[in-house]
Amino acid sequence: MSALEIPVARQLIDGAWVPAADQGELPVLDPANSKVIQRIARGGQADVDAAVAAARRAFPGWAATSPTERGALLGRWAALVMERVEDLARVEARDVGKPLSGGRMNAFIAQGIIEYFAGAADKLTGVTLPTRTPDYLGFTIPEPWGVCAVTLPWNVPTLLSAANVAPALAAGNTVVLKPSEVAPLGPLALAELAREAGLPPGVFNVVTGLGAEAGQALTSHTDIDHISFVGSTATGSAVMRAASENLVPVKLELGGKSPNVVFADADLDVAIPAIVGSITENAGQNCYAGSRLLVEESIRDEVTERVAAGMRAVRLGTWDMDLDMGPLVSREQRERVLGFLEEAPGEGARVVTGGAKAEVPDEGWFVAPTVLDRVDRGMRVVREEVFGPVLAIQGFTGTAQAVEMMNDTDFGLLACIWTDDVSRALRAAKEVRAGQVAVNQFHDAGVIGFPFNMQKDSGFSAGGGYAALREYTQEKAVAVRLLDR
């Protein structure tokens, strides 16, 4: 098998790899040493116009293709992804800077997602509705939106491409994807595998480039029917404003400030490594990262000490060293994170461990895993998404205060509750305003098709599982009077 090749400075439009209309290019940098690893096309309005036109032309044929056949094509795509999973793992790891094992995990998850929606394509059904008298029939038909625009961030690009493109295609839509200019290679590799799997030209298009150019051109395009935006809250708000001009529905998956809540009866041997992992996986650059640690006062010192020890033990290295944590994705991202770290001590926070750059090895954008104590609810490091390996610890007493503190945030993505008491766990799960709750684990490990839901400023979406298939359809309601013939 040949190595997986990502065409240099090319975008996938109408089934062909083409340069940007004006031949512009952008470098993609290795987060571990700032060297250029690839060049991508710098797409703009003309490229987006061409991709949207291709997707529009392909839509009627794809929507009319039997769902079983659409599922079979997605199944072939999933099989190719499985064959190339190690290649994809390397692409993702190097592009984002995460350890190879993290890239591998993402590639396997992406494969599983595509396979899931391959199987779901011919299981999408409407409902029959009750009628007031027997001579009526009522039912619904789920229909694809049409041309779906998907705009993605850089932190888990391979997985997020699969999570948005696969359900859209399974439901009969065509797609134009704009990956992040910071880490676009995983989505480009997945698109090449989709092409090899035999997806018809125009069904899945990728335009690369800057947010202010290709991104804006796509999300404000007058011939798209649906937008999926995954990224920061500020950009999501701008995208929604642009979409409102054209009355295009928007699915938003935005930032987070997720709490790990540890009650005194929690199994700390299970909780501590998971808490450390929740803020160091992908160097803390995950929307669901466990960036707030709320600890019951009676065990606060012990937990702080054990978490700090766990953070100090995290081994830093480049993607191919495959240790525990890599650098941040870019110089800008590191400057942003260091800004929080410079500010917090001045406001009274205590740096328990970390708190600065980590110069291993040489030129990468590394930040030391950091624990901050004595933080206050008003501090920026407690309120804003840092998107780095920075954990802020706060104490609480009793379930009511724990819930109050969990909810003391603009975000509502994930909440993790650590306790042996089922009533306390379920009360907290019920009362927290978050789209996802985990009990005695971090995130959704072990649950198939877990809906990736969000509340408050984290967005609104059903970005995972069967619900995602519904997100990519609109429902038509049909009422029939059965005439007496």
Please report, as ranges, the residues that interact with ligand NAD according to CB under 6 A: 151-156, 178, 180-181, 211-212, 215-216, 219, 230-232, 235, 238-239, 253-256, 287, 385, 387, 454, 458-459, 463
- The dihedral region occupied by 274, where left means phi > 0, alpha psi between -120 and 50, and beta the remainder, is alpha
Q: Quote the tokens at residue 307.
A: 């978490």
Q: In the complex, what is the shortest distance from the CB of residue 87 to ligand NAD, in angstroms, rounded to a whole number?
A: 23
Closest separation in Å from C-beta 327 to ligand NAD: 16
- Report whether 425 contacts 437 (CB < 8 A): no
- Nearer CB in complex with ligand NAD: 278/458: 458
String of DSSP letters for 157-170: HHHHHHHHHHHHHH
Q: At its nearest, how many Å lie between ligand NAD and the CB of residue 388? A: 11
Determine contact, residues 372/354, Cβ cutoff 8 Å: no
Instruction: Tell me whether residue 296 or residue 457 sits nearer to ligand NAD (CB atom).
Output: 457
**Token pair recorded at residue 405:** 């503190």
Looking at beta carbons only, is 236 or 310 nearer to ligand NAD? 236
Least separation in angstroms between CB 134 and ligand NAD: 46
Tell me how far apart the alpha carbons of residues 67 and 121 are, in angstroms, rounded to a whole number. 5
* Among 110, 124, 120, residue whose Cα is nearest residue 163: 110
Measured from the CB atom, the residue of 387 and 472 that comes closer to ligand NAD is 387
> CB 62 → ligand NAD: shortest distance, Å?
24
Determine whether 253 is an active site residue.
yes
Do 150 and 128 contact (CB within 8 A), yes or no?
no
- Rounded to whole angstroms, the Cα distance separating 281 from 326 reads 9
Of the residues 115, 253, 281, 385, which is catalytic?
A: 253
469 close to 479: Cβ distance less than 8 angstroms: no
What DSSP letter does each residue of 329-394 carry, written as one string?
A: S-HHHHHHHHHHHHHHHHTT-EEEE--SB---STTS--B--EEEES--TTSHHHHS---SSEEEEE
The least CB distance from residue 181 to ligand NAD, in Å, is 6
Residue 262 or residue 329: which is nearer to ligand NAD going by CB?
329
Q: Which residue is nearest to ligand NAD (CB)?
A: 211
Paired tokens of 253: 């998956």
Of 80 and 382, CB closest to ligand NAD: 382
Q: Which residues is 476 bridged to in the sheet?
A: 141
Strands 350-353 and 226-230: unpaired
Cα distance between residue 104 and residue 110, in whole Å: 10
Would you please indicate which residues are annotated as catalytic (active-site) residues? 253
